[in-house]
């Protein structure tokens, strides 16, 4: 089925395409035809009001003159329609050009017709806001948010990751019953029936919980301190307080290393790997970074490689609620085991800044506050590592004590998160890469040599900020908290 334009001979297969096409005819030709009609009426009225004598003497002449003028106007009208139709065809060819301007020449007049702006999505709006950033010092007062200081834990010389296998239950049967519930994830109804049956055949000296809820409550009281989370306020924006739910970073390390199945496979020293006398790289402890770091430490010292990765995710099937978790794992764990569920632990939930309107979401103040919140949250969870930037600690495990130096080896995330971590502009900027200063035009240039690729090193980025050249290098004029961590 086709749909034909009533103004021209074009056919369309969809009604929506025809509707958009009809809008192109616009009011340009209508306005000009209205002027022609007005001019025709003025000529007729003028001739009717002339004196009777002149009208009688020159009646034949005036009628011929009017007819001649009307014929000329009809010819102009046809010419306008033909010109308009030609321009419409040209304009249809260029409909994909954004904000195109077409000039329609009608006789001695010129009419400008602009295409309707193509609607951008939120990401493009954010990119435009980023491109319009000024090279001025970012202050909390200027952008309408306030970072809140957080009290940090004291520095510990010894970090104990040993795990005791003993848990003080009222009785051995009590503990066995609760382990059964946890192992098989039984429902409360099923568990209560098992409990009632057990009581019916149990001895008088056997202690069991009166209900499943009582047993679960007892389990919650036995939770180890390193498994508990804290809630702290870290930012105030638009009179709303934003909280960070987190636990200490070394508590997350303890949860990993207290698992003997993980600890027995961990490697804490540089271990080169060769195949047919050639160096190969399969693990973090095989790479040059680890080798270089190991050479700066005493011979008996070990490297604790910390990996952090974050990704916003939806919490329900409808996508109405979402969270931004951050997970921790260790580069000391081999790859084959690191990909298992028990080789990574939850470290925190990052707060997510809220905007009331779309205009606020695209505003400069919201953009800066969002990046400052992300950076400040990571600063809070990583702050204990600053105390060990140039010092060591003893890691007490079930297999003995180890002398360790902690290092953040990897920060994983998607492209927007990496841009927020490095405080670089988006993919539409002049230098979109968050790792190097390659221009956007050369991102797919495979012929670039290593000398032409300049990395975004912390010292270089600091010098760029000091020289007020942040905008030219597609970086925000903000202090990056990641530059100070080992």
pLDDT computed for residue 369 by the predictor = 93
| Mean pLDDT comparison of 113-117, 292-296, 398-402, highest-scoring range | 292-296
pLDDT over 90 at 162, yes or no = no
DSSP assignment letter at 318: T
| Mean pLDDT comparison of 1-15, 323-337, 353-367, highest-scoring range | 323-337
Return the percentage of the chain with pLDDT > 90, whole number. 33
For residues 239 and 228, give the distance between their C-alpha atoms in angstroms, rounded to a whole number.
29
Average pLDDT over residues 1-15: 77
pTM for this predicted structure: 0.60
Cα–Cα distance list, 409 to 80, 236, 275, 287, 304 (Å): 70, 31, 25, 11, 9
pLDDT band of 37, cuts 50, 70, 90: low
Phi, psi of 384 (to 5 degrees): -60, -25
User: Poorest-confidence range of 214-228, 388-402, 421-435?
Assistant: 214-228
Average pLDDT over residues 41-56: 57
For residues 426 and 260, give the distance between their C-alpha atoms in angstroms, rounded to a whole number.
43
| Domain residue ranges in the chain | 3-114, 122-165+222-484, 172-221
Cα–Cα distance list, 199 to 196, 219, 377 (Å): 5, 20, 50
pLDDT over 60 at 138, yes or no = no
The total of other beta-carbon atoms located within 10 Å of residue 29's CB is 21
pLDDT computed for residue 110 by the predictor = 38
pLDDT over 70 at 51, yes or no = no
- The model's pLDDT over 244-280, given as tens digits with 9 standing for 90+, comes to 999 999 989 988 998 889 999 999 999 999 999 999 9
pLDDT over 60 at 83, yes or no = no
pLDDT band of 109, cuts 50, 70, 90: very low
| Crossing angle of helices 188-201 and 172-184, rounded to 10° | 150
Return the percentage of the chain with pLDDT > 70, whole number. 69
For residues 88 and 8, give the distance between their C-alpha atoms in angstroms, rounded to a whole number.
9
pLDDT over 80 at 353, yes or no = yes
* Beta strands at 400-412 and 230-237: parallel, antiparallel or unpaired: unpaired
pLDDT computed for residue 90 by the predictor = 47
Could you tell me the two tokens for 94? 């260029």
pLDDT band of 236, cuts 50, 70, 90: very high
pLDDT computed for residue 125 by the predictor = 45
pLDDT band of 63, cuts 50, 70, 90: very low
Average pLDDT over residues 324-348: 94
Average pLDDT along the chain = 77
User: Poorest-confidence range of 175-179, 230-234, 322-326, 401-405?
Assistant: 175-179
Could you tell me the two tokens for 424? 């670089």
Cβ-contact 234, 373 below 8 angstroms: yes
For residues 2 and 15, give the distance between their C-alpha atoms in angstroms, rounded to a whole number.
8
Could you tell me the two tokens for 164? 């005791």
pLDDT over 80 at 432, yes or no = yes
Phi, psi of 466 (to 5 degrees): -65, -30
pLDDT computed for residue 187 by the predictor = 82
Residue (of 383, 119, 355) closest to 250 by Cα position: 383
Greater pLDDT, 124 or 276: 276
For residues 321 and 323, give the distance between their C-alpha atoms in angstroms, rounded to a whole number.
7
pLDDT over 80 at 157, yes or no = no
User: Poorest-confidence range of 82-96, 234-248, 264-278, 366-380?
Assistant: 82-96
Cβ-contact 111, 104 below 8 angstroms: yes
Cβ-contact 386, 375 below 8 angstroms: no
For residues 115 and 105, give the distance between their C-alpha atoms in angstroms, rounded to a whole number.
17
pLDDT computed for residue 344 by the predictor = 94
């Amino acid at each position: 089925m086709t749909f034909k334009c009533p103004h021209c001979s074009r056919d369309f297969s969809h009604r929506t395409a025809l509707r958009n096409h009809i809008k192109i005819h616009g009011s340009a030709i209508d306005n000009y035809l209205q002027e022609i009609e007005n001019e025709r009426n003025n000529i007729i009225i003028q001739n009717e009001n002339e004196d009777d004598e002149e009208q009688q003497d020159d009646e034949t002449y005036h009628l011929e003159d009017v007819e001649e003028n009307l014929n000329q106007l009809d010819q102009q009208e046809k010419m306008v329609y033909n010109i308009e139709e030609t321009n419409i065809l040209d304009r249809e060819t260029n409909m994909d050009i954004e904000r195109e301007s077409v000039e329609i020449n009608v006789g001695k007049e010129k009419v400008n017709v602009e295409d309707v702006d193509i609607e951008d999505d939120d990401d493009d709006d954010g990119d435009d806001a980023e491109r319009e950033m000024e090279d001025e010092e970012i202050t909390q007062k200027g952008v309408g948010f306030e970072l809140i200081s957080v009290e940090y834990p004291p520095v510990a010389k010894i970090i104990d990751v040993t795990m005791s296998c003993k848990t003080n239950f009222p009785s051995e049967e009590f503990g066995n019953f609760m382990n059964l519930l946890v192992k098989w994830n039984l429902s409360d109804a099923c568990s209560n029936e098992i409990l009632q049956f057990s009581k019916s055949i149990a001895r008088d000296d056997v202690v069991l919980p009166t209900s499943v809820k009582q047993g679960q409550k007892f389990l919650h009281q036995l939770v180890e301190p390193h498994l508990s989370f804290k809630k702290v306020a870290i930012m105030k924006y638009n009179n709303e307080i934003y909280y960070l739910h987190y636990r200490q970073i070394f508590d997350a390390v303890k949860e990993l290393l207290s698992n003997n199945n993980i600890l027995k496979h961990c490697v804490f020293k540089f271990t080169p790997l060769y195949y047919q006398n050639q160096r190969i790289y399969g693990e973090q402890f095989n790479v040059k970074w680890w080798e270089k770091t190991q050479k700066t430490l005493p011979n008996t010292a070990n490297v604790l490689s910390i990996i952090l990765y974050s990704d916003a995710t939806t919490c329900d099937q409808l996508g109405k609620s979402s969270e931004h978790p951050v997970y921790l794992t260790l580069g000391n764990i081999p790859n084959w085991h690191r990909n298992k569920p028990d080789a990574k632990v939850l470290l925190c939930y990052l707060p997510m800044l809220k905007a009331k309107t779309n205009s606020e979401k695209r505003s400069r103040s919201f953009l800066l506050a969002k990046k400052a919140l992300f950076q400040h949250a990571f600063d809070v969870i990583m702050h204990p590592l600053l105390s060990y930037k140039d010092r060591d600690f003893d890691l007490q495990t079930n297999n003995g004590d180890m002398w360790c130096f902690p290092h953040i080896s990897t920060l994983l995330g998607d492209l927007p998160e990496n841009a927020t971590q490095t405080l670089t502009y988006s993919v539409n900027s002049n230098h979109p890469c968050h790792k190097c200063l390659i221009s956007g035009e050369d991102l797919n240039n495979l012929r670039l040599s290593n000398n032409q690729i300049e990395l975004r090193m912390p010292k270089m980025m600091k010098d760029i900020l000091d020289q007020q050249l942040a905008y030219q290098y597609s970086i925000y004029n903000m202090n990056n908290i990641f530059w100070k961590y080992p």
